[in-house]
Copies of this chain bind each other. A is one copy, B any other.
Amino acid sequence: MLARGLAAAPGAAVGQVVFDADRAVEWSKIGQKVILARPETSPEDVAGMYASEGIVTARGGRTSHAAVVAVGMGKSCVVGASEILVDEERRVLTANGRTVREGDVISLDGGTGEVILDAVETVEGTLSQEVQELLVWADFYRRGGLGVRANADTPVDAQRAREMGAEGIGLVRTEHMFFAPDRIPIMREMIMAATPAAQQAALDRLQLFQRDDFVGIFQAMDGLPVTIRLLDPPLHEFLASQKEYKEMVEEKSRLEALAINPDRQRWLETVLAAVERLREANPMLGHRGCRLGITSPRIYGMQVTAIMEAACAAAEQGVRVEAEIMIPLTGTVGEMRETYEQTRKVADGVVARTGVPAKYSVGTMIEVPRAALIADQIAHHAEFFSFGTNDLTQMTFGYSRDDVAKFLPAYLQKGLLPHDPFSVLDQEGVGELIRIGIERGRKTRPDLKIGICGEHGGEASSVEFCYRVGMTYVSCSWPLIPGARLAAAQARIRDRVGDSRRAS
């Protein structure tokens, strides 16, 4: 044991220690598991906290920023580990005479407050015999109620989700695939391409990667539906973080002042110009999702081709494929019609070319308030809906999730909000838009398949809400699936008890 602090948020975490939020984000993007160690956290650290397995701070109590935010995120957290001295400058921490460098592995036990050197063996949420039996009962009582799917981006996660009882995948985020170290340079090439031909060449290389990813997921989910969302974030996210941008500006000024290394200066100038050209004042509300799909149709074209080639290849191997291609950020009927038609055209082209009749449908996220309000029109061109309650919460409240830590802790403390609306679905406001969206969507298409793929899909009170408003399924990350199965069963039972009471 390295040190003991306060047990702020339960759960075990193992990962490489990092000393700032940006590094946490960078390393997690390339698939590393990290633990963020800070003297204390502040709102600037929130993105890094999301990216980490767990958080440990040297200062602060159970109501400190780190503790409050980690509980909200469901991350393991130890605070006030005062034996630890974090030296951000030298990128080491020392505790009781021992020194840990950035990248060294440590473990946290958020239930006891222990901080441990090296990786401790953890138990991966296996289900006891009793729990498994309970879940069988739950599934029995859940019949005719809510389905439970998983959010998963890789074949490994898809497999785990299936073992946990997932009845499909509700969300594959295709952008995560582009952050892998072998792909991000190609993604950047595509973004910075000077000619359409150069862009297409980069897209062709990305297509091969994407196809292989999808084949693995279809195989893992043989016989079950897989919802794949087309590219969602703005392109500048793939170029440089704010910190990387600053470092490039600093380096360029230094080289200029010293009049050295003109080649590097020119290269920095090119990259900085691209970053500045793509920069947005509010990226969350910017040029992303289907807006990108419409202004740069090659990107969605590449993705749809990759999905359908994978679907046809898997189907040919005997896998029962059920692909659901999902358009993000739709807000107008024009966008929906345009992307629906584009997608169908490309997909049917692949089916015709391969001669394999792989089964697929095209639907949309409902995550922009306007989409919920005009859901009757959207449903004319969408074969399924999935409520993206993370973004819908951001836009309905007008809260940027990356900035909310500047005021949300004060709101919770003063009782101005009952919960963090990113953890527990706000039934009153966001839920009202969901009710409106479902009612209007089914007016046009009575059998519309409707799910939720925000992080609320694994939270019990939110699951009950989804049942009550008539959703087809919830989707959540795989560790939350057993809880979601149970919550869905409880909602169904509560409803039936109500029915029989009303009947008597």
- Which residues of A are in contact with B by a Cβ distance under 8 Å? 42, 44, 47, 242, 246, 249-254, 256-258, 276-277, 279-287, 291-292, 294-295, 329, 331-332, 334-335, 338, 367-370, 373-374, 391, 394-400, 402-403, 406-407, 410-411, 414-417, 426, 428-430, 432-433
- Knowing A282-B283, A402-B281 are in contact, say whether A415-B257 is a contact too (CB < 8 A): no
Q: Which residues of the partner chain B approach A285 to less than 8 Å between Cβ atoms?
A: 282, 284-285, 394-395, 398-400, 403
User: 11 A-B pairs, CB-CB below 8 angstroms?
Assistant: A258-B258, A280-B400, A284-B400, A285-B285, A286-B400, A287-B403, A287-B407, A291-B407, A329-B398, A369-B398, A374-B432
How many whole Å from A343's CB to the nearest CB in chain B? 15
Q: Which residues of the partner chain B approach A282 to less than 8 Å between Cβ atoms?
A: 282-285, 400, 402-403
Say yes or no: A294 contacts B407, CB within 8 Å: yes
Say yes or no: B373 contacts A410, CB within 8 Å: no
**9 extra interface residue pairs, beta carbon distance < 8 Å, beyond A295-B407, A373-B432:** A42-B277, A47-B281, A242-B279, A280-B400, A281-B402, A283-B403, A286-B403, A292-B407, A295-B410
| CB-based nearest B residue for A287 | B406
Say yes or no: B374 contacts A429, CB within 8 Å: yes
Say yes or no: A398 contacts B331, CB within 8 Å: yes
How many whole Å from A273's CB to the nearest CB in chain B? 11
Say yes or no: A331 contacts B397, CB within 8 Å: yes
Q: Identify which of B242, B368, B394, B400 contacts A397 (C-beta below 8 A).
A: B368
| CB-based nearest B residue for A408 | B291
Q: Which residues of the partner chain B approach A367 to less than 8 Å between Cβ atoms?
A: 398
Q: How far is the CA of A42 from the CA of B277 in the complex (A)?
A: 9
How many whole Å from A427's CB to the nearest CB in chain B? 11
How many whole Å from A334's CB to the nearest CB in chain B? 3
Q: Which residues of the partner chain B approach A406 to less than 8 Å between Cβ atoms?
A: 280, 286-287, 291, 295
How many whole Å from A272's CB to the nearest CB in chain B? 9
**Number of copies of this chain that the complex holds:** 2
- Among A398, A403, A432, chain B packs the most CB atoms within 10 A around the CB of A398
Q: Identify which of B281, B391, B411, B429 contacts A284 (C-beta below 8 A).
A: B281
Say yes or no: A433 contacts B369, CB within 8 Å: yes
Q: Which residues of the partner chain B approach A334 to less than 8 Å between Cβ atoms?
A: 411, 414-417
Q: Which residues of the partner chain B approach A426 to less than 8 Å between Cβ atoms?
A: 370
Q: How far is the CA of A416 from the CA of B337 in the complex (A)?
A: 9
Q: How far is the CA of A411 from the CA of B276 in the complex (A)?
A: 23
Say yes or no: A44 contacts B370, CB within 8 Å: no
How many whole Å from A312's CB to the nearest CB in chain B? 30
Say yes or no: A277 contacts B402, CB within 8 Å: no
- Knowing A391-B398, A398-B391, A407-B287 are in contact, say whether A414-B280 is a contact too (CB < 8 A): no
Say yes or no: A294 contacts B411, CB within 8 Å: yes
Q: Which residues of the partner chain B approach A292 to less than 8 Å between Cβ atoms?
A: 407
Q: Which residues of the partner chain B approach A257 to less than 8 Å between Cβ atoms?
A: 253-254, 257-258
Q: Identify which of B253, B258, B398, B415 contacts A370 (C-beta below 8 A).
A: B398
| CB-based nearest B residue for A286 | B403
Say yes or no: B429 contacts A373, CB within 8 Å: yes
Q: Which residues of the partner chain B approach A399 to less than 8 Å between Cβ atoms?
A: 285
Q: Which residues of the partner chain B approach A258 to less than 8 Å between Cβ atoms?
A: 257-258
Q: Which residues of the partner chain B approach A414 to less than 8 Å between Cβ atoms?
A: 294, 334, 338
Q: Identify which of B251, B398, B407 contacts A395 (C-beta below 8 A).
A: B398
| CB-based nearest B residue for A406 | B287
Q: How far is the CA of A402 from the CA of B287 in the complex (A)?
A: 11
Say yes or no: B335 contacts A280, CB within 8 Å: no
| CB-based nearest B residue for A399 | B285
Q: Which residues of the partner chain B approach A370 to less than 8 Å between Cβ atoms?
A: 396-398, 426, 429-430
How many whole Å from A403's CB to the nearest CB in chain B? 4
Q: Which residues of the partner chain B approach A369 to less than 8 Å between Cβ atoms?
A: 369, 395-396, 398, 429, 433
Q: Identify which of B294, B416, B428, B429 contacts A338 (C-beta below 8 A).
A: B416
- Knowing A249-B250, A250-B249 are in contact, say whether A281-B403 is a contact too (CB < 8 A): yes
Say yes or no: A398 contacts B432, CB within 8 Å: no
Q: Which residues of the partner chain B approach A246 to less than 8 Å between Cβ atoms?
A: 249
How many whole Å from A484's CB to the nearest CB in chain B? 26
| CB-based nearest B residue for A47 | B281
Q: Which residues of the partner chain B approach A398 to less than 8 Å between Cβ atoms?
A: 284-285, 329, 331, 367-370, 391, 395
How many whole Å from A269's CB to the nearest CB in chain B? 12
Q: Which residues of the partner chain B approach A252 to less than 8 Å between Cβ atoms?
A: 250
Q: How far is the CA of A430 from the CA of B367 in the complex (A)?
A: 15
How many whole Å from A261's CB to the nearest CB in chain B? 12
Q: How far is the CA of A286 from the CA of B407 in the complex (A)?
A: 9
Q: How far is the CA of A154 from the CA of B304 in the complex (A)?
A: 55
How many whole Å from A441's CB to the nearest CB in chain B? 15
| CB-based nearest B residue for A272 | B246
Q: Which residues of the partner chain B approach A44 to less than 8 Å between Cβ atoms?
A: 276-277, 279
